[in-house]
A and B are shown apart, each in its own frame.
Chain A
Amino acid sequence: MDTMVVKAGLGDILAKVKAKERLSADDAVKLYKTPDILAVGYLANLVREQLNGNAAYFIYNQHINYSNICTNLCKFCAFGKDKSSPSAYEMGVEDVVLKVRERLDEPITEIHMVGGIHPDLPYDYYLELLRGIKSVRPAVHIQAFTCVEIAHLAELAGKSVADTLAELRAAGLGSIPGGGAEVFSPRIRQLTCEKKLSGEGWLEVAKTAHRLGLRSNATMLYGHIETVEERVEHLAMLRNAQDETGGFLAFIPLAFHPKNTELSGLSRTTGLDDLKNIAVSRLFLDNFPHIKAYWVMIGPKLAQVALAFGADDVDGTVKEEVITHMAGADTEQAMARDSLVRMIREAGRTPIERDTLYQVIKAY
């Protein structure tokens, strides 16, 4: 196999991977631009197996999107709606609690909850959401509110991000999802989501959370108007932040879905794009323990293949995911646990059901 990698022009990177040496930004650009996906995947798998052996993780989780009302209205988003839009919705605390209550008979270990930047829901609403969920399902881990939402909540509260996070945590927040990172480059943010928290601001919230002992994830929305160099810059900023705090659990590359967005003229990502982003991030983000192939975005088939191209996690049972489906995702809204287990097994990996913090619940 080494011959194949050398033939693909990646001999120098192979040597670095074997020596567990850190890759440079130039290396990452080169990997992105290498047409030979097998060679790139093979390299990513070396790192994947160094870090995670043969394990492939999934979680039994429930997604709740409490409101799609949003003042940011990013161009790549089909989910966010102006408050006056007929398709705008917001769930009361009771509605959210009901959603959790309806599924108390299922072994859900995580509630994943995000929403838009709502213009007038009060700070207390968010605290009540967390308390409400915990009141009916005390043992569940709540992974909620992206860094963008946290920054907004701090503003609402008129408190520092650290104090806000401490209060949210006291109300039941367990960790922070990786959304809202998009592409950190100011050029991209200016063109696609000018009202959104900046890349620097996003990283500052994440690092603050880490310093308080809250873990978080990180994402990158690829496949719209960003360049390869901007992707690598994004990854480098994440790697630096992780060097500082070590608080990131997983990196999740997110495939842009153009349908119903203002960028609907763009094509959907190809399978090669998706695998490249998984593989390059696995190779470059050497200090991230996990790389997730989010099946809702890339489809279960490609998520399975991604387990051989650097990914060690496929997310989970999900259910009721709204954000990607509004943008034309043709995947199912849920996957049963046995389907996840089988898909992992047929990829030659060991299925491990985990909790949010990657503690093993059960090996299959």
Chain B
Amino acid sequence: MNTLSQKILDGQRISADEALILLEKADIYQLGFLARAVRERLHPTPIVTYIVDRNINYTDICISACKFCAFFKTPEDPAGSLLSFEELGKKIKETKELGGTQILLQGGLHPDKPLSYYVKMVRFIKRFGIHVHGFSPPEIWHFAQISKVSVPHVITRLREAGLDSIPGGGAEILVDRVRKLTSPRKCTAAQWLLVMAAAHEQGLRTTATMMFGHLETVAERIEHLVRLRDLQDRTGGFTAFIPWPFQPNNTALQNVLPTTAMTYLRLLAVSRIFLDNFSNIQASWVTQGPKIAELSLFFGANDFGSTMIEENVVAATGVSYRLSEQEIRRLVEDAGFTPRQRLMDYSLVGQE
């Protein structure tokens, strides 16, 4: 462990096996200490960033029916809905009035809307003059399937319509054994990575996520990180990594015991150490609450994520933490850092 610690402190890359050793054996202080060292190397000034944005889910109708999801409705379910452009416009206006700089636009895999529909949606939204961080890889893959075109073509069309960046959702665990068990109808691990590679090639920045704590093994968590690090070596297109624990209530996997805070903090720290080519690691206050989110700043996180003027997906599992911008700033300051609002590309907003 001492050799491994020294290696990390010297700024060397660690292997998957070493990451697994850290995850399973290192004590919590050591993990925090090492994650902080990596974070300080990448971010010498003690700033913690956050973004003011709103999650807009254009539809909850979804053909994927993932077992870990409490948000979706099947196409047959009359309770499912698709937001009209008018409703989208109203939400965006509200977001702008509240100082929002971005919308995170995601939805279910709708059974029959073609690519042209989403192109129109983006064009409509861009009229409001706001950053559109939209359509996770499973959605992009789905649009390509439904309109029988290539993934790069989908990205080009959306980008030309005004799409600014792509969120890292739908990654869950990038191991097909797990995906077959939990989300067999969703794009595979390779397909998820292919979408991200294509987006990066076209100059779109994206984030990457991991939803863990369901049916995957600890080694598969590391495998997920390996795939992300490899792609980032090739493209450099990821801005941030955002891990969060699966929230089992109201899902088909509700008998899975929820991930505890300690397991979350350990994984967060190992991600910070292992993903040496990712600039930013986000804390997940929406699943962990304000107390653990604040503590995350001592375990490698340098970003507090979004103020989430609206959030529906985690809320569907009955988890209902809310934080205002003011509260986020207070928590960041309490932890000894300077809070700064940022944009999707991590450029800072305004002056301190």
Which residues of A does B touch, CB under 8 Å? 1, 4, 35, 37-38, 41-42, 45, 267, 270-275, 298-299, 301-302, 304-305, 308, 342-343, 346-348
Contact = CB atoms under 8 A, between A and B. Distances in A.
Given A1-B33, A37-B298, A274 B260 contact: no
B289 A299 contact: yes
12 contacts: A4-B29, A38-B29, A41-B29, A271-B292, A272-B295, A275-B295, A298-B291, A302-B291, A302-B292, A342-B257, A348-B27, A348-B262
Contacts of B28: 41, 308, 348
A301 B291 contact: yes
Interface string B254-270: 00010011110100000
Contact of A270 (B257, B262, B298, B334): B334
B229 interface: no
Contacts of A272: 294-295, 334-335
A270 B290 contact: yes
Interface of B: 27-30, 32-33, 36, 257, 260-263, 265, 288-295, 298, 330-331, 334-336
A63 to B, nearest CB: 23
A304 B334 CA distance: 21
B330 A302 contact: no
B260 A346 contact: yes
A304 B33 contact: no
B275 to A, nearest CB: 21
Contacts of B289: 299, 301
Instruction: Tell which of A271, A275, A346 has the most Cβ of chain B within 10 Å.
Output: A271
Given A41-B29, A270-B331, A304 B294 contact: no
Contact of B294 (A4, A270, A308): A270
B257 A302 contact: no
A38 B260 contact: no
Contacts of B336: 35
A305 B330 contact: no
Contacts of A4: 29, 33
Given A270-B334, A271-B290, A298-B291, A38 B32 contact: yes
B272 to A, nearest CB: 14
B47 to A, nearest CB: 15
Given A38-B36, A305-B262, A346-B260, A274 B291 contact: yes
Contact of B262 (A42, A275, A346): A346
A42 B331 CA distance: 22
Contacts of A271: 290-295
Given A271-B290, A271-B292, A348-B27, 6 more contacts: A270-B290, A270-B291, A270-B331, A274-B291, A299-B289, A346-B262
Main SS class of interface, A:
helix
Contacts of A275: 295
A237 to B, nearest CB: 27
Contacts of B261: 301-302, 304-305
Given A1-B29, A42-B29, A301 B294 contact: no
B38 to A, nearest CB: 14
B262 A347 contact: yes
Contacts of B290: 270-271
Contact of A308 (B262, B331, B334, B335): B262
Contacts, number: 74
Contacts of A343: 260
Contacts of B262: 304-305, 308, 346-348
A54 to B, nearest CB: 12
A267 B330 contact: yes
Contacts of A1: 29-30, 33
A298 B290 CA distance: 11
Nearest to A1: B29
B292 A38 contact: no
B296 to A, nearest CB: 9
Nearest to B31: A38
B29 A304 contact: no
A145 B89 CA distance: 59
Contacts of A37: 295, 298
A346 B29 contact: no
| 9 tightest Cβ-Cβ pairs between the two chains A and B | A271-B291, A301-B261, A35-B336, A346-B260, A42-B29, A38-B32, A271-B294, A270-B334, A302-B291
A342 to B, nearest CB: 6
A305 B27 CA distance: 12
Contacts of B335: 35, 270, 272
Contacts of B263: 346
A45 to B, nearest CB: 7
Nearest to A35: B336
Contact of A301 (B260, B330, B334): B260
A273 B294 CA distance: 11
Contacts of A346: 260, 262-263
Contacts of B330: 267, 270
A275 B296 CA distance: 13
A346 B265 CA distance: 12
A343 B262 CA distance: 9
A41 B292 CA distance: 15
Nearest to B261: A301
A38 B334 contact: no
A38 B31 CA distance: 10
B260 to A, nearest CB: 4
A267 B265 CA distance: 25
Nearest to A305: B261
Contacts of B294: 270-272
A11 to B, nearest CB: 16
Contacts of A302: 261, 291-292, 295
Nearest to B29: A42
Nearest to A37: B298
Nearest to B36: A38
Nearest to A5: B29
A342 B263 CA distance: 12
A271 B292 CA distance: 7
A274 B295 CA distance: 11
Nearest to A274: B291
Instruction: Tell which of B28, B30, B292 has the most Cβ of chain A within 10 Å.
Output: B28
A273 B29 CA distance: 18
